[in-house]
Structure formats: C-alpha cells, structure tokens
C-alpha cells in the first residue's frame, strides 16, 4: 500500500474536554446550597428603650420632675411655662421633697439643642446629679 492513501490521519493537537456541563453543575450546586443554607442570626445586646416618647409626660408624679421644651423653645413644668432662671429653684424644691428624684428633660424635635443644654445646666446648678437627668425628644 502506498503511504499517501492512508485513510487514518493522526491529529497531533491535545483534545480539550467540554467544560460546559461541569460549570452548569457547579452553578446548580451553588444555587442549591445558597437556597438551603440556614443563616445564623447573632444575638447583639438588648437595649431597653421607652415604648413611647410621650410616656415621659405620663410619668409626671411626685417622684419625677419633667421639664418639657416645646418647638418654640418654651420651657414648661406641670403645664406652666417657666423661665430658665426658675429651673434651679424648681429642681432644689423637688430634691428636698424626694432626694433620689429623676429629672426628665423632654425636648421637641424642632427645638434648639442649645435650649436643652441650658435647661440641663440649670438642673445641674439646682443640685441634680448628672446620672439622674434623662434627655428625651418628642
């Protein structure tokens, strides 16, 4: 037989496997594991927050001193408008009646922050302990 009439030719290139089915399998497995995975919800620390900001007004009893700052920066105590100069006397009177009395300063969201700080400073001047003063917004 002559050499040129050989029906079988030898291919010297390396055969490459078709990876498409394997990639499809990997994606299907990836989707399966993502869908069936259970995510661990880590517990953080719990914060005891008041249920409602209006609860500070309800808490106005003999043991709690509530000072409310409205949106026009007026200071109110027991429904009456008071001046900034009167706050140290009010705090002193409250502390004479109840030494461990908490003080709540409830300021409106549109009030000036400086007014809240002035009221807090006046309460401190009246003898209030910094740990007994609570600032809230309404």
Instruction: Provide the strand spans (E) within the chain.
Output: 65-69, 75-77, 80-82, 103-107, 133-137
CATH 3.30.420.270 fits 55-137, yes or no: yes
Domain extents in the chain: 55-137
**Cα–Cα distances in angstroms (integers) from residue 124 to residues 53, 66, 95, in the given order:** 23, 14, 12
Tokens encoding 131: 């740990």
CB 67 within 8 A of CB 75: yes
The DSSP output letter for 21 is H
> In which residue are the tokens 């461990």 written?
100
Taking the CA atoms of residue 70, residue 110, residue 52 and residue 116 in that order, the dihedral angle to the nearest 10 degrees is -60
Residue 62's pLDDT is 62
Global pTM? 0.55
Per-residue confidence (pLDDT) for residue 38, from 0 to 100 = 81
β-pairing, 65-69 vs 75-77, is antiparallel
Pairing of strands 75-77, 103-107: unpaired
pLDDT in tens, the chain (138 residues): 455 566 666 767 777 888 889 999 999 999 999 999 887 777 777 766 666 545 444 444 567 888 999 989 899 988 899 999 999 998 988 888 888 888 889 998 888 888 989 999 999 998 888 888 888 887
């Amino acid at each position: 037989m002559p050499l040129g009439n050989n029906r079988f030719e030898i291919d010297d290139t390396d055969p490459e496997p078709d990876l498409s089915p394997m990639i499809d399998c990997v994606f299907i497995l990836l989707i399966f594991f993502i869908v069936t995975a259970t995510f661990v919800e880590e517990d953080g620390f719990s914060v005891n927050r008041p249920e409602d900001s209006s609860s500070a007004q309800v808490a106005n009893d003999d043991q709690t001193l509530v000072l409310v700052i409205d949106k026009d920066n007026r200071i109110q105590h027991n429904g009456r408008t008071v001046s900034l100069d009167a706050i140290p006397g009010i705090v002193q009177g409250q502390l004479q009646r109840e030494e461990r009395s908490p003080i709540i300063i409830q300021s409106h969201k549109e009030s000036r922050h400086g007014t809240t700080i002035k009221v807090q400073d006046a309460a401190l001047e009246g003898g209030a302990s910094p740990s007994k003063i609570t600032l809230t917004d309404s």
